[in-house]
Amino acid sequence: MRVTVVGTSGAGKTTLAMRIARETGCARIELDALNWQDGWRDLQTHDPEEFKRRTAEAVAAEAWVCDGNYSMVRPIVLARATHLIWLDYERPLIMWRVITRSLARAILGTALFGGGNTENFRHWLDKDHPIRWAWNTHHRRRTEYEILLATPPYANLSILRLRHPRDAEEVVGWLGEGSRT
């Protein structure tokens, strides 16, 4: 089983992927951790070939759960995935989640992706900060996935489009059962 979890920033991709990995015993791949280096230097911009290489190496495994939305490596991930879980939640829920997550990380000084990166209030108004990113890309991301998942190359995927967090409980149980049979 190779599961990819997608959705807008703040949807809960990482949290759901961790739960599925724990329930199924599959390895977890966090695309943010592959991309972001210390000092918030991202491979997607500074070394795209290395980002693609790391992603291809990670998804070459027989079983995994991956979370992330990077269009640059999406074809690499989707070519290997068997299941795609799309967290397609409404904007108010997304915004609540991304704001509370950012606030908690800033207050606690939580280290992210390699340990050298932390949330900083000074960057909250940056166009690429997750709060602004989630707000600005919510509608576009929904449209992109509707179009993308309707194309023939992805007919091999078992696609689960979740519209509410309560739907995730059933999916975790279903995938967990499937991994034990």
Q: Which helix (H) or strand (E) holds 55?
A: helix 48-59
Q: DSSP E strands: which ranges in 106-152?
A: 111-112, 117-118
Q: Any bridge partners for residue 84, and if so which?
A: 4, 159
Confidence (pLDDT) at 180: 60
Per-residue pLDDT tens over the stretch 110-120? 888 866 787 87
Contact present, 161 and 86 (Cβ < 8 Å): yes
So what's the pLDDT on residue 174? 82
Amino acid at 118: T
Contact between 6 and 22 under an 8 Å Cβ cutoff? The reply is no
- Tell me which of 3.40.50.1110, 3.30.200.20, 3.50.50.60, 3.40.50.300 is the CATH number of domain 2-174: 3.40.50.300
Q: What is the pTM of this model?
A: 0.91
Name the nearest CA neighbour of 12 among 163, 140, 177. 163
Residue type, 100: T
Render pLDDT for 15-59 as a digit per residue (tens, 0 to 9).
999 999 999 999 999 999 999 988 888 899 999 999 999 999 999
- Return all residues near 141 (Cβ < 8 A) that are at least 6 apart: 7, 8, 69
